[in-house]
Structure 1
Amino acid sequence: MWVAELACPHGHGFEGWFASRADFDQQRERGLVSCPQCGSHHIERRLSAPRLNLGAPQPEAPTTSTTPVRSAGAASPAAPSAPGAPALPQLLREMVASVLAATEDVGRQFADEARRIHHGDAPARAIRGQADAEQLEALRDEGVEVWSLPLPVELGSDEPRH
């Protein structure tokens, strides 16, 4: 099951559930996907975090600091987006750490393992690893949803992960 965050040109956001990304594309091309609020068929995907439904209990949300982070040379602290919200760099580090904790590192075999999982030849699980642009494009063409995640050096790498 592939869950997508969608929106119409009027800014109405909603969630769609599809068998795969290719299924979404086919349904959208046939005019079967529409905004539940205004009925528009001009639907686009929004950037969204991956959903990993592996049947395991949800981990507790990480504790975040509400102290603004001062960047090098900055005249004033970075302002959070909402009162009490942690600064963006802190949130990014926590998000990346959460992804690392919830995924299995398959290294350079990422493309092959992602393909095996997609085709049901390997157990479904959340993985991460390295792949070049050509491998990523081939996976996307096959309907395998992948994301690039640059890892801060302090979390383990200066190479993009997927």
Structure 2
Amino acid sequence: MIRYSLRCPEDHGFESWFQSSDAFDDLLAAGRVACPVCGSSSVEKVLMAPSVRPARKAAAAPPPKPLSAPASQMEEAFRALRRQVEENSEYVGMNFATEARKIHEGDAPERAIYGEAKPEEARRLIEDGVPVAPLPFLPQRKVN
């Protein structure tokens, strides 16, 4: 496994793990590597320091501080939207298409949900008149 520091044209920095350098190149060429903030698939590697394990007797370093301040107003708006969605709706994971269809047809209680769907599942929901919309962020479990 290899970890790359990446950056999009909007100057959003993020990291991601890949099986190999070739795997990264293949995914990038296929448009499958995207910025988690703006969704741009035009990303590039940035210079990063290699990860070096400390000696066995060395004291463990404190964990890195989490990113605290957003880099822009847009990032803060995305964070606020994420909080709003997560606090006011139920995460149904990969069952999103099934659950949205059940709610639409009256087979499940009406409530706000969010989750994940394959593109073809989302297209079928839209074609069938189920009111759905994509969210501009990835689920927490998929965020770098």
TM bucket (normalised to shorter chain) is: 0.3 to 0.5
TM-score (norm 2): 0.47
Higher relative contact order (CA 8 A, sep 6+): 2
TM-score (norm 1): 0.42
**Which structure is higher in helix share?**
2
